[in-house]
Amino acid sequence: MSDSYIVDPDVGFIEEVTRLGGQDLKKCYQCATCSVACPISPDTKPFPRKEMLATSWGLKNRLIGNGDIWLCHNCGDCTTRCPRGAKPGDVLAAVRAYTVTEYAVPKALGKMVNNPSSLPVLMAIPIAIFLVVGLVLKMFGVNWLNFNPAGDQLWQADYISNYLVDIIMVPTFCGAIGVFALGLKRFITDIHANALLEGKTDKEKIEPVEFIRSLIKVLPTIMRHNRFSECGENKDRATAHMMVLFGFIGLFIVTGTFFFAEWVLHIEGPYSQWSPVKWLANAGGIALIIGGSLMIAKRMGQQDQITSYKDWYLIGLVLVLGGTGLLTEMLRLGHLYDLSAFIYVLHLIAVWMLFAYTPFSKLAHFVYRTVAMAYQSYSGRT
């Protein structure tokens, strides 16, 4: 005798998924073409058919904490082959966006990050923080904020001290790590409970050491973007995604190196243009610009794929980060110091937004998808 399941639809969840890009959800009639077409769907309990059914019925609890929604890379094979145009890939992307806001706290901030009308407020927050902290320090004689520095050779730190930048950025970065940690603790618990419920694993509890080994095991797959190469429709997306990924990794290394040089070795900038670290910084900025531009070109050329605000927010942030960083350097080298300082302020706003809002934005998929792939390896699903 089959088990019974009481359906309790969450209409609000369906409406929110529709708003986030899953507006073609109701066209699905459960033919399972999507699960057959997907080249990376596991052999046991394949996606995305079961996720399309759960979303259609508003079964929020069966989707939030479902690791399979993160295994989907939205390559488009299922969308192209769907006979009804239900766009399963876009529906799962919308469910992922909803899930991010569910796991990140405070939820109100998550809703703001995904609301275009809130963008001016989100940009104003870092401006206010820098002004308040800088002016308060000035009252105590610490001149880390200077609106009119003097000298023949100026650089951005003469306007806004690197120490002021660091004492604001470091807590912001640590706060984002904390938000991710809280979300991931719930996420891992939920995906394991979901896997047990659906028979995806026979492990009663997660063994931390084995899970970490599985995480290390999947990192090469992520770095090489192997899943993208298995897709048929959009495997060329791998180039743009890899450029953005390695651009961020390179810039993270650069930031850490300069932070160590300034706070530990007390070596002040500006640093030589011949420095290998400076080369890496420039390469990282160029990679972001090229990768972001390729993403725009790809999305503009795909009329059958839905592009929502969360997608444009991420691409825009990538381009602004790379563009303002390189432009700040070029204007300084061209002795246009005031203009360089203005662009640098825009760069700082973008960096702060990257740190503070990543747990609430589409960029969070890098963390959640990595954990979901590690869990798939840990549970033995192929």
| Contact predicate 300/326, CB 8 Å | no
- Establish if 3 belongs to a structural domain: no
Measured between alpha carbons, how far is 17 from 9 in angstroms, rounded to an integer?
Answer: 13
pTM summary value:
0.92
Lowest average pLDDT, out of 175-179, 218-222, 287-291, goes to 218-222
Average model confidence (pLDDT) for the chain? 90
| 115 and 103 part of one domain | no
Instruction: Kindly state whether residues 345 and 316 are assigned to the same domain.
Output: yes
Domain boundary among 49, 79, 107: 107
* 344 plus 318 within the same structural domain: yes
* DSSP assignments along 303-318, one per residue: TTS---HHHHHHHHHH
pLDDT band at 1 (very low <50, low <70, confident <90, very high): very low
Q: How many domains does the chain have?
A: 2
Same domain, 164 and 131: yes
> Would the pLDDT of 26 be above 70?
yes
Q: Of all helices (H) and strands (E), which one includes residue 133?
A: helix 119-139
Instruction: Tell how far CA 98 is from the center of its chain.
Output: 14
What is the tens place of the pLDDT at every residue in 236-288? Answer: 788 899 999 999 999 999 999 999 999 999 888 888 889 999 999 999 999 99
Instruction: Please state at what angle helix 237-263 crosses helix 309-333, rounded to 10 degrees.
Output: 50
pLDDT of residue 21: 86
Could you report the per-residue pLDDT of 326-382, keeping only the tens digit for each? 999 999 999 999 999 999 999 999 999 999 999 999 999 999 999 999 999 998 877
4 assigned to some structural domain:
no
Q: What pLDDT sits at residue 347?
A: 97
Q: Which domain holds residue 181?
A: 111-379
> Are residues 35 and 122 both part of a single domain?
no
The answer, yes or no, to whether residue 205 has pLDDT greater than 90, is no
Same domain, 167 and 281: yes
Is 2 part of a structural domain of the chain? Answer: no
- 70 and 126 within one domain: no
Phi and psi at residue 351, to the nearest 5°: -65, -45
Which residues contact residue 89 at a Cβ distance below 8 angstroms, ignoring those fewer than 6 apart?
48, 72, 74, 75, 76, 77, 78, 79, 305
Contact criterion met (CB below 8 Å) for 349 and 130: no
Task: Evaluate if residue 4 carries a pLDDT over 70.
Answer: no
CA-derived radius of gyration, the chain: 23
On whether the CB atoms of residues 71 and 372 are closer than 8 A, the answer is: yes
Handedness of CA 286, 292, 296, 297 (dihedral sign): positive
**Burial of 195: CB neighbours in 10 Å, binned 0-12, 13-18, 19+:** buried
Average pLDDT over residues 60-86: 89
